[in-house]
């Protein structure tokens, strides 16, 4: 249902003043170069690559935070640039994003109830009772139970994991078809990581959400992703079912990524414990 075709994003680099001289064209960063993939409803595609490989740019292009230099994204057969131009509110009901830093993503002055209910207000929902009910429902769904004990809290009164749950609640309250999660657990403690990863997996399957799960390390992909796309310097160098890519990577860069995990951080659990795989599946 999400179809990305030849997606490309070039940024003009600030190559000193040279780029301002007549006849000199500025240099270009090829952040994303001809990326294509599809994600079905309820499916999680992992987009994995080292820092600077173009993952976040891809994510931002998909949710309309950036305009592609070339290529297209379609959602349920409709070109997303067209859909967004025609009805921005409707587009943002369909497509949501979760970020790495849940603290930075939440206005510290607002309560959990405000933060999670706000997207409905933006969408023009005026029925306060209906908003209150929806907020309680999604809070329970993301594991903030009982919801009543979180409603009047502010972000600084929550743990990192709870804050990310608030961000997830806010993202799903509009019942999106497509969710981009950009390094959603990179800033969380290892024990919390697995809970959040399982939550994302469950939401994708239960709600039939197509999800792009972006990460720079392969530690959590086994527990959340159905398929992987390995990104290197703006291009997808390998795709396949998650077990196949991890067990028998065909691209040298993927091999290097897998080999790099233990040396990069000896404390990182490389593959999820079996119990987590079962619970997530």
Interface residue with ligand ADP among 43, 56, 200, 228 (CB under 6 A) is: 56
47-84 residues labelled b (16+ CB within 10 A) or e (exposed) = bbbbeebbbbbbbbbbbbebebbebebbbeeeebeebb
Beta bridge partners of 214: 47, 182
Q: Does 53 bind ligand ADP (CB under 6 A)?
A: yes
Work out what residue 242 binds among ligand ADP, Mg ion, none; the CB cut-off runs from 5 to 8 Å by kind: none
Least distance CB 187 / ligand ADP (angstroms): 14
What are phi and psi for residue 54, nearest 5 degrees? 110, 10
Among 39, 44, 49, 209, binds ligand ADP (CB under 6 A): 49
**Residue 55 is a binding residue for ligand ADP (CB under 6 A):** yes
Selected from 32, 48, 54, 56, the binder of Mg ion by CB under 5 A is 56
Q: How many residues does the chain have?
A: 281
Q: Which lies closer to ligand ADP via its Cβ, residue 113 or residue 238?
A: 238
Sign of CA dihedral 34, 64, 39, 48: positive
- Give the β-pairing of 28-39 and 2-12: antiparallel
User: Which residue of 54, 64, 222, 272 would you call a contact of ligand ADP, by CB under 6 A?
Assistant: 54
- Considering beta carbons, is residue 56 or 164 the nearer one to Mg ion? 56
- The contact mask relative to ligand ADP for 7-46 (x = CB under 6 A, - = no) is ----x-----------------x-x---------------
Which residue do the tokens 């600084």 mark? 156
Q: Which is nearer to ligand ADP, 59 or 249 (CB)?
A: 59
- The whole-angstrom separation of Cα 139 and Cα 133 is 10
* Cα-trace Rg, the chain: 19
DSSP helix/strand/coil, 160: helix
Nearer to ligand ADP (CB atom), residue 36 or residue 111: 36
53 interacts with Mg ion by CB under 5 A: no
Q: Which residues bind ligand ADP (CB under 6 A)?
A: 11, 29, 31, 49, 51-57
Q: What are the residues binding Mg ion (CB under 5 A)?
A: 56
């Amino acid at each position: 249902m999400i179809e990305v075709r030849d997606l490309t994003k070039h940024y003009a680099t600030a190559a000193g003043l040279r780029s301002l001289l007549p006849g000199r064209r500025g240099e270009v960063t090829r952040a994303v170069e001809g990326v294509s993939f599809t994600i079905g409803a309820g499916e999680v595609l992992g987009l994995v690559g080292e820092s600077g490989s173009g993952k976040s740019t891809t994510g931002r292009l998909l949710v309309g935070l950036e305009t592609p230099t070339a290529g297209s994204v379609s959602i349920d057969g409709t070109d997303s640039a067209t859909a967004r131009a025609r009805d921005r509110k409707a587009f943002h009901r369909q497509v949501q994003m979760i970020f790495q830093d849940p603290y930075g993503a939440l206005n510290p002055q607002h309560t959990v109830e405000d933060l999670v209910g706000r997207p409905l207000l933006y969408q023009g929902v005026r029925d306060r009772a209906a908003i209150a009910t929806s907020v309680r429902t999604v809070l329970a769904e993301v594991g903030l139970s009982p919801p009543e004990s979180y409603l009047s809290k502010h972000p600084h009164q929550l743990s990192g994991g709870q804050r990310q749950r608030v961000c997830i609640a806010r993202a799903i309250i509009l019942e999106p078809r497509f969710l981009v999660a950009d390094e959603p657990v990179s800033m969380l403690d290892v024990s919390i990581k697995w809970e959040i990863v399982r939550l994302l997996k469950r939401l994708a399957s239960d709600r039939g959400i197509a999800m792009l799960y972006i990460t720079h390390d392969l530690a959590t992909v086994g527990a959340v992703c159905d398929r992987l796309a390995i990104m290197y310097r703006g291009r997808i160098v390998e795709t396949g079912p998650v077990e196949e890519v991890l067990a028998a990577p065909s691209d040298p860069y993927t091999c290097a990524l897998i080999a790099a995990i233990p040396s990069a951080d000896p404390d990182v659990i490389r593959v999820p414990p079996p119990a987590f795989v079962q619970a997530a599946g």
